[in-house]
Structure 1
């Protein structure tokens, strides 16, 4: 039976979080002399002399309307990477605990684990890029605190079988972290709707991909109120700056435009796949639910270097497990995709 208190680090249980000036006062006032800010303003057209809302309530309120999740179930981080790091720092004891990774997958899980001195146990996906449930079950022990599942997966692009993730959620007494950075491009529904069903579920999403806000660094975690309270306790007090909050709020009013972009991108993805299949050095293109495709080739390194010489940058994933000979290609604008195809046709 999952119990959050059983996996929470003892020092985090007893942690008294930093109390900022904006934590101690809620509401509006005419004179703010509590936070040692520069009362004269900012040397900018927009005023940034005041500290931002530490809990980003207005952004969470708008996200709540879009996602159908109460604000209290939302954590905002400086990119999803901050949420990943906070999960390690909250639930994993350095040098003692371990986490399960399922390569090929997003590389930041392992980097963050290494930074926090947490052992990683890798259970490679099947040749079909699905979970090896038996292997995961064998890798779990009493010190396994987190399992990271990226779906749609990076770099393979496919969605992970929903039933397999539900099996982990129902049987694992730690946290199952489902990273849905690319969910906007997928036919698979988000696991956000399952938060009330599984107390050990954490869903990661981002404004960097479909929303086109990679430069703002705003990531999201959705989980039980109890888990979100822990993450808010561990995070820095002002982890999302005022400019990012205001710009994110503006962007979140334009959901119709984003949906149009998603449809156009998916159409471009399908068109690019069809055209790439005609190239003699393309061996396979794996099914994708993301804004990129994984392309198996006869010479990934040579093709990569050839594209670099022509000013086109893709990602060489040929050294990643199960991705031998493969390039990961992000779907660009119609003009960018056409330039890519025309350049590849010159490759000998």
Structure 2
């Protein structure tokens, strides 16, 4: 049985007539806009924000298409990747009936969004080396399993998931396989975006919050088949990406060289940070990382976390997360940030 998108969609979504906004109903340029009940006199700002934004963000998508090598009609833009995650649940999972597979430890919003949408979660823990348990996933599947979420590079562990294992799932699972590549810019692994034509059940999530340094703008991306993107656009709010964000993102996307330089610096600092931390006797293990953070297993994690907070240094305590016992997740900072961190940890353990 081959992948069939229509079989996955909820019946109410198939029948849904999406809201048609004023800006959806004409194409081209106009000099007199009297269709959307806007304030014709402008806005009390230097830049005029009195007009509704492009509901499908065409300019931003065209620019992203040239950077990502993905056609614009295969791109969805959301209010962070969280919006895309929520839409996936609402489009494909019947509340109280369907289920999804999560592979902990992983990004927490997959579970939160499932709970909000009353979708059953089936957890298949990663192996001891933070890779997929393919046999466990196969055993967890049933006729109501609609999606499998895989974060690679994984959060909070930082490692990439074996590509062949992901391809095995894409080939054999007839539901959606959602690969979250929020940290792909820091990895040597290539993105799955180039595999979209090969796997019709593939959805890839990315973000401008990490490598691009635009976390405050809240712009997430989903890449998928044209048919799946049409489902996203059918469900999303009419104007989900505001005009200020679209303007600022377009300006930011002109600076690819700057971002690439930051990525190189981050990776170099990551390796130096790992080297420095590995020399501290109380740090037992650092998971190999393809992200802009590391997961360190160490002595007295909670006490160290509190000590760092008192020093004005904030890391993430993951010591109570299954398979991350005794661990702190540490974002790679600037050279100065990392120096202060190392000095504080050495002071704590001295």
| TM-score of the superposed pair, with normalisation by structure 2 | 0.99
* 2:174 matches 1:173: yes
Corresponding position of 2:274: 273
Corresponding position of 2:150: 149
Corresponding position of 1:255: 256
Unaligned runs of 5+ in 2: none
Corresponding position of 2:335: 334
- List aligned pairs for 1:86-125, cutoff 5 A: 86-125=87-126
Residue 347 of structure 1 aligns to a residue in which SS?
helix
Instruction: Tell me, in whole angstroms, the C-alpha distance in 1 between the residues paired with 2:347 and 2:121.
Output: 43
Instruction: Tell me, in whole angstroms, the C-alpha distance in 1 between the residues paired with 2:299 and 2:313.
Output: 19
Corresponding position of 1:184: 185
Corresponding position of 2:163: 162
By how many angstroms is 1:68 displaced? 0.8
Corresponding position of 2:45: 44
* 2:349 matches 1:343: no
By how many angstroms is 1:278 displaced? 1.5
* 2:20 matches 1:19: yes
Instruction: Tell me, in whole angstroms, the C-alpha distance in 2 between the residues paired with 1:26 and 1:49.
Output: 19
Instruction: Tell me, in whole angstroms, the C-alpha distance in 2 between the residues paired with 1:176 and 1:142.
Output: 15
By how many angstroms is 1:341 displaced? 0.8
Corresponding position of 1:243: 244
Corresponding position of 1:78: 79
Instruction: Tell me, in whole angstroms, the C-alpha distance in 1 between the residues paired with 2:190 and 2:345.
Output: 35
Instruction: Tell me, in whole angstroms, the C-alpha distance in 1 between the residues paired with 2:27 and 2:319.
Output: 52
Unaligned runs of 5+ in 1: none
Deviations 1:28-66 (A, max 9, x none): 111100001111111000111000000000000000001
By how many angstroms is 1:280 displaced? 2.3
Corresponding position of 1:198: 199
Instruction: Tell me, in whole angstroms, the C-alpha distance in 2 between the residues paired with 1:288 and 1:192.
Output: 21
| TM-score of the superposed pair, with normalisation by structure 1 | 0.99
Residue 130 of structure 1 aligns to a residue in which SS?
coil
Residue 29 of structure 1 aligns to a residue in which SS?
coil
Deviations 1:106-143 (A, max 9, x none): 00000000000000000000001000000000001000
Instruction: Tell me, in whole angstroms, the C-alpha distance in 2 between the residues paired with 1:118 and 1:176.
Output: 16
Corresponding position of 1:306: 307
Deviations 1:88-116 (A, max 9, x none): 00000000000000000000000000000
Instruction: Tell me, in whole angstroms, the C-alpha distance in 1 between the residues paired with 2:28 and 2:339.
Output: 53
Corresponding position of 1:32: 33
Instruction: Tell me, in whole angstroms, the C-alpha distance in 2 between the residues paired with 1:188 and 1:276.
Output: 25
Corresponding position of 1:215: 216
Residue 178 of structure 2 aligns to a residue in which SS?
strand
Instruction: Tell me, in whole angstroms, the C-alpha distance in 2 between the residues paired with 1:103 and 1:222.
Output: 23
Residue 76 of structure 1 aligns to a residue in which SS?
strand
Instruction: Tell me, in whole angstroms, the C-alpha distance in 1 between the residues paired with 2:283 and 2:26.
Output: 60
Residue 295 of structure 2 aligns to a residue in which SS?
strand
Deviations 1:143-184 (A, max 9, x none): 000000000000000000000000000000100000000000
By how many angstroms is 1:342 displaced? 1.1
By how many angstroms is 1:343 displaced? 1.0
